[in-house]
Amino acid sequence: MNSKIMDIKKIEVWDGNMAASQAFRQADIDVVAAYPITPSTPVVENYATFEANGYIDGEFVMVESEHAAMSACVGAAAAGGRVATATSSQGFALMVEVLYQAAGMRLPIVLAQVNRALAAPLNVNGDHSDMYLGRDSGWINVSTFSPQEVYDLTLCAFKIAEHLDVRLPVNINQDGFMSSHTAQNIRTLDDKTACDFVGPYKAVNAMLDFSKPVTHGVQTEEDWHFEHKAKQHNAIMRSVKVIDAVFAEFKALTGREYKRVESYGMEDAEIAIVAFGTTYETAKIVVDNLKKEGINAGIIAPRIFRPFPLEELAAQLQNVKAVACLDRSAPGGTVGALYNEIAGALFNSPARPVLSNVIYGLGGRDMTVSVLTGIYKDLVKEAATGKLNGTIQRFVGVRGPELNYYNA
């Protein structure tokens, strides 16, 4: 790496955006192509500053749109480089067409996605609308809960994406403003240790390797399309072993442990909430409070959204009597996506907990300890009666008339 690179102390005070930027820098990326959008702009702004100050050897490319940003990333990755970018919300929506190209061409691009509501109405604050939009595009999707996790898991993302048994892009999600703009103490790796952990880039089917000519983005139609997509799906499902191995290696290096499904208080839980993102951290406080009252509550958070940890989630919910699935995205005329995933995970298992869907926090509305406590108290009633306390779906924290849908 560049001899001018700054030394990183053991502990830094970074927000989630800076954590992603520093992980990019330490990963020794060849190309970052980007177009700014709130609240992810500081990720690439910081990285551009690193380039201007001579701290990186790679290229920073400013383009005319987010669609162009991902297109440039696809070109650079196909040419044989380590590549990354960042975006949010409407910018991510503009990228979606090219996300499928990146996954289908098996290009190990890393995307720092700072989750934000999708318009209309226009909103720059965090919810999971954009994360849900891209969940089936063929990318490995990772959910982070804090700036520390953004730093750690971005480093892991390069190692997972580039593994020869995977070769797929990875999307690292963090909550807009709640993580991206919240500064915390971050335990960092020094530059050499981080770079060595990620490892040297190994190009596969590089377009600039003229000794082995290749074609990217070919047309297949019915002759071979099915086989290509089956192999792509096989790769993302097979990535589970690689993800576990990378997490284990990172734990051995740092002492920080990550699992594909994170949980707290589930050892004796009779009621549980399932949620993504920073809500997990808040729910842990509520779980501790409820256990002091003699209520056996727990919180589960899928760390990996794709490939979805169906069997692991089902296993953790076998002894739970009532479960609330929290979706931080407007459901658009059905139950939330996470509710559907959990229902599917439980369908062929012996467990039959009372299962409800909670829509919350849209457009950055706070999820507080008091609101979460109320959700858990509803679960206590459902666990006692074996029946829903109202309807399958309810909106919590919204002003105006009570919004409950899908009568049991």
What pLDDT sits at residue 9? 53
Q: pTM of this prediction?
A: 0.96
C-alpha–C-alpha distance, residues 69 and 89, integer Å = 14
Domains 11-254 and 261-405 are alike in CATH topology:
yes
CATH class of domain segment(s) 11-254: alpha beta
As given in the structure block, the two tokens for residue 197 are: 């952990």
Q: Which of 382, 393, 332 is nearest to 359 (CA)?
A: 393
Instruction: Name the burial class of residue 302, with classes exposed (0-12), middle (13-18) and buried (19+) by CB atoms within 10 angstroms of its CB.
Output: buried
C-alpha–C-alpha distance, residues 309 and 241, integer Å = 12
Give Cα separations from 368 to 281, 365, 371, 374 (angstroms): 11, 9, 5, 10
C-alpha–C-alpha distance, residues 245 and 210, integer Å = 34
Specify the fold of 261-405: Rossmann fold (3.40.50)
Q: Which of 255, 245, 157 is nearest to 198 (CA)?
A: 157
What pLDDT sits at residue 407? 84
In 145-237, beta strands by DSSP E? 170-175, 184-187
Are 115 and 143 contacting, i.e. CB atoms less than 8 angstroms apart?
A: no
Query: In the chain, where are the structural domains located?
Result: 11-254, 261-405
Those residues with Cβ within 8 angstroms of residue 400's Cβ, 6 or more apart along the chain or in another chain: none
- For 316, other C-beta atoms within 10 Å of its C-beta total 20
Q: Order across the sheet with 271-274: list the strands.
A: 261-264, 297-302, 271-274, 322-327, 354-359, 393-395, 404-405
How far is CA 380 from its chain centroid? 30
C-alpha–C-alpha distance, residues 164 and 263, integer Å = 30
C-alpha–C-alpha distance, residues 362 and 370, integer Å = 17
Are 315 and 270 contacting, i.e. CB atoms less than 8 angstroms apart?
A: no
C-alpha–C-alpha distance, residues 111 and 258, integer Å = 19
Measured CA angle at 275 (ends 270, 280), to 5 deg:
90
What pLDDT sits at residue 7? 46
Are 115 and 178 contacting, i.e. CB atoms less than 8 angstroms apart?
A: no
What pLDDT sits at residue 241? 98
pLDDT in tens, the chain (408 residues): 444 444 445 899 999 999 999 999 999 999 999 999 999 999 999 999 999 999 999 999 999 999 999 999 999 999 999 999 999 999 999 999 999 999 999 999 999 999 999 999 999 999 999 999 999 999 999 999 999 999 999 999 999 999 999 999 999 999 999 999 999 999 999 999 999 999 999 999 999 999 999 988 889 999 999 999 999 999 999 999 999 999 999 999 999 999 999 999 999 999 999 999 999 999 999 999 999 999 999 999 999 999 999 999 999 999 999 999 999 999 999 999 999 999 999 999 999 999 999 999 999 999 999 999 999 999 999 999 999 999 999 999 999 988 999 986
Those residues with Cβ within 8 angstroms of residue 77's Cβ, 6 or more apart along the chain or in another chain: 83, 102, 107, 108, 109
What pLDDT sits at residue 408? 62
What pLDDT sits at residue 4? 44
Are 130 and 224 contacting, i.e. CB atoms less than 8 angstroms apart?
A: no
